[in-house]
Structure 1
Amino acid sequence: MPILTAEKLIIALKKLSDYIANPDQGFKNLILTAQNSNAWFTIDEVERSLNALHKMLNQQDLETWFKNITINEHPKKVGLILAGNIPLVGFHDVLSVLATGNIALIKLSSSDDKLLPALLTQLIVIEPQLADHIVYVERLKDFDAVIATGSNNTSRYFDFYFGKVPNIIRKNRNSVAVLNGQENPSEIASLGHDIFDYFGLGCRNVSKLFIPEDYNIKHFFEPIEHFKEIINHFKYNNNYDYNKSIYLVNMAEHYDNGFLLLKEDSGMSSPLAVLYYERYKNIDDVATKLKAEEENIQCVISNIPFELKTSVLGFGESQVPKLWDYADNVDTIAFLKTI
């Protein structure tokens, strides 16, 4: 099997980025019809994901990323069990396998089984040598390593089936935001993207808010008002109505702005259309809690410079990751070097 050089891969990926920015009619039609198969994959959310990929695959970042990548001269077969909670969420795992010269055995999610193959087909058109490195499977077998993304529940099965080979097994994670009370309306509005993009379904979406003890909730609700149209999506609305009814029946205290429920709770993982919040007296207490929960947190959104293994990002940055922003803070490229 001919070895693809880093230079060839960078050229191919940059061309793919250009294609994403200006796709052909066939791919445009796929964007328009994606929600027929998955109601969460609206045109806006699919285009949001594509725009994030377009930004990720820029020339400068590709060159920086590939400096730390060694291409395997003897390709290994890497099984990929992909998630489908947001559009094209599995692309980065496939990219990492291809970038290291290995073979991706792809088990697609039934929730995202059209967009990713279409994008990878275009990548093969751009660089035909990649055809031998992309294989779709219904059942994983004859693999040298596995990267599996699922829930806390499925991870137990993944551990059982794949525990004897090198693996990355991902569980549920959520992201949190920490306010100091000095944020301006524009920053809170940007935080709205961290909460509402992809309907809050991603592990990089904020599901928990830490606020100062005397924080006035209206300072949060007013700047995010322009996200109110999210309630018009029937599946999101169903979740909102269901959780609201539960809180009302149980007489659970909560805030309600008509499209988001804000509930005081010490938990990190809130239901869809709900944002948990927790008040704090001392920011050091928040830092201690974040460190204790690092294994469950994907990223932290804040102006406060916490010292954590978890990525600390600015408001509005959670859904535009860089090539080196690895899921669960596990360096996929470093892992692939070990197999």
Structure 2
Amino acid sequence: MSRTEKVAALVRLGQYLAGNDPALQTAKDQAFQANGWFTEDFVNISLKNICQYFLDEARLNNWLDGYPAIPAISRSVGIVAAGNIPLVGFHDWLCGFLSGHQVRLKLSSKDTVLMKHVIDKIAEWYPEYAAQTQTQDMLKNCDAYIATGSNNSSRYFNYYFAQYPHIIRRNRTSAAILDGTETFEELEALADDIMIYFGLGCRNVTKVFVPENYNFDNLLKALGKYDSLADHHKYKNNYDYNLALFLLNSSQYLTNGTILLNESPSLFSPLSVLHYSYYTDAAALTEELKGNEDMQALVGHGFIPFGAAQQPGLSDYADGVDTMQFLTTL
């Protein structure tokens, strides 16, 4: 099928995912039963963003215009998908689908239901595509690989896939630089960047940098937008555990009863904890963060707007590696 036909198929998928089909609702319910972190609210946010930023016809065509035509020779591409947030592997599958390669997809046990529902729906509508994507438990004898995992698993991926063209991704996270002039509305938008998906995504802000003598009152109030997360038992268990550690270690912390703020040099923070550090030179800090290989997204005035960290576009590639360029030039 031509590029035009594939784009049309994806636009149809977007219309389906934005609707209220009973089969889609069943898939959402089953996804939550399989993974308690995939609440309906957060699944709906993921679907909304995918439909708006990935499956819009104009956005798709503008994005594809920047790449060579679909290769004449189809390769088999093994994709090891992550499962930390709903449909996190969708963009890799989308790139494989549009590039015309045979996609061999190893799904995460944490995000099997939703990804399979998307793939099965495309196969149902377009039987000629059914063979292009296959889900497999083991990925062997592929021509190229894309794998996403932890820092530890990335070492194994590099070992096993070294002789093949590959993209290997590791742990990343995101941060925000505050200058103290933020409005309360901007801080509430920042709360989205921090708390959506319980903070489990690489685009979730896990650390904020603030000027000296910064007053955290408004930030804590803004984070209260997500007080309902304290009713989620998995999240609450993490909050209680980390609070106990701070108390036992006599560590200083701030809290609004739902999230803990702790001063720390680390970009990565435990679930239910937001790290912070003070800065004096914003320009030097910006250069340092932009050169940090652990950084996925930087939020703040002059950077990604507050509230937009979880709304990546088609060209916002994980780890900054252009997946579509990789696939179209195999």
Give the shorter-chain TM-score range: over 0.9
Residue 37 (structure 2) aligns with: 40
CA contact (8 A) 2:79 2:104 kept: yes
CA contact (8 A) 2:34 2:110 kept: yes
Local SS of the residue matching 1:202: coil
| Residue identity matched to 1:322 | G
Structure 2 residue 247 is matched with structure 1 residue 256: no
Residue 217 (structure 1) aligns with: 216
CA contact (8 A) 2:17 2:24 kept: no
For 2:257 and 2:87, locate their aligned partners in 1 and report how far apart those are by CA, in whole Å: 30
Q: How does 1:162-173 map to 2 (within 5 A)?
A: 162-173=161-172
For 1:91 and 1:34, locate their aligned partners in 2 and report how far apart those are by CA, in whole Å: 15
Deviation per CA, 1:46-79: give whole Å up to 9, x if none: 1111111111211110111121232122110000
For 1:74 and 1:328, locate their aligned partners in 2 and report how far apart those are by CA, in whole Å: 27
Task: Give the total of aligned pairs.
Answer: 328
Deviation per CA, 1:302-338: give whole Å up to 9, x if none: 11x3xxxxxx410010111111111111110111123
Residue 313 (structure 2) aligns with: 322
For 2:290 and 2:22, locate their aligned partners in 1 and report how far apart those are by CA, in whole Å: 48
For 1:23 and 1:136, locate their aligned partners in 2 and report how far apart those are by CA, in whole Å: 26
Residue 48 (structure 2) aligns with: 51
CA 1:76–1:265 in 2, change beyond 3 Å: closer, same or farther?
same
| Residue identity matched to 1:63 | N
Q: How does 1:194-205 map to 2 (within 5 A)?
A: 194-205=193-204
| Distance apart, 1:23 and its partner CA | 4.3
Structure 2 residue 231 is matched with structure 1 residue 232: yes
For 2:203 and 2:239, locate their aligned partners in 1 and report how far apart those are by CA, in whole Å: 20
Residue 78 (structure 2) aligns with: 79
Q: Please, which of 21, 27, 30 is the counterpart of residue 30 of structure 1?
A: 27
| Distance apart, 1:33 and its partner CA | 2.9
For 2:324 and 2:29, locate their aligned partners in 1 and report how far apart those are by CA, in whole Å: 34
Local SS of the residue matching 1:313: coil
Deviation per CA, 1:202-244: give whole Å up to 9, x if none: 0000001001112101021122212111111111111111011
For 2:87 and 2:200, locate their aligned partners in 1 and report how far apart those are by CA, in whole Å: 13
| Residue identity matched to 1:73 | A
> Which structure 1 residue ranges, 5 or more long, are not aligned?
306-311
Residue 61 (structure 1) aligns with: 59
Residue 175 (structure 1) aligns with: 174
Task: Name whichever of 201-210 and 280-289 sits farther off.
Answer: 280-289
CA contact (8 A) 1:16 1:126 kept: no
Local SS of the residue matching 2:175: strand
| Residue identity matched to 1:275 | L
Structure 2 residue 244 is matched with structure 1 residue 245: yes
Structure 2 residue 304 is matched with structure 1 residue 313: yes
Q: How does 1:105-184 map to 2 (within 5 A)?
A: 105-184=104-183
CA contact (8 A) 1:77 1:143 kept: yes
| Residue identity matched to 1:59 | E
| Residue identity matched to 1:318 | A
Local SS of the residue matching 2:222: coil
Normalising by structure 1, report the TM-score. Answer: 0.94
> Which structure 2 residue ranges, 5 or more long, are not aligned?
none
Residue 309 (structure 1) aligns with: none
For 2:183 and 2:127, locate their aligned partners in 1 and report how far apart those are by CA, in whole Å: 50
Deviation per CA, 1:14-71: give whole Å up to 9, x if none: 0000011114212211212321110101111111111111112111101111212321
For 2:291 and 2:41, locate their aligned partners in 1 and report how far apart those are by CA, in whole Å: 36
Normalising by structure 2, report the TM-score. Answer: 0.97
For 1:134 and 1:160, locate their aligned partners in 2 and report how far apart those are by CA, in whole Å: 25
Residue 329 (structure 2) aligns with: 338
For 1:323 and 1:141, locate their aligned partners in 2 and report how far apart those are by CA, in whole Å: 28
CA contact (8 A) 2:220 2:255 kept: no
For 1:11 and 1:39, locate their aligned partners in 2 and report how far apart those are by CA, in whole Å: 33
Residue 297 (structure 2) aligns with: 299
Runs (4+) of structure 1 moved beyond 6 Å?
none
Q: Please provide the CA RMSD for this pair.
A: 1.1
Task: Name whichever of 55-64 and 185-194 sits farther off.
Answer: 55-64
Q: How does 1:277-288 map to 2 (within 5 A)?
A: 277-288=276-287
Residue 104 (structure 1) aligns with: 103
For 1:10 and 1:302, locate their aligned partners in 2 and report how far apart those are by CA, in whole Å: 34
Task: Name whichever of 74-83 and 123-132 sits farther off.
Answer: 123-132
CA contact (8 A) 1:200 1:206 kept: yes
Local SS of the residue matching 2:131: helix
| Residue identity matched to 1:55 | Q
| Residue identity matched to 2:117 | A
Q: Please, which of 20, 27, 31 is the counterpart of residue 17 of structure 2?
A: 20
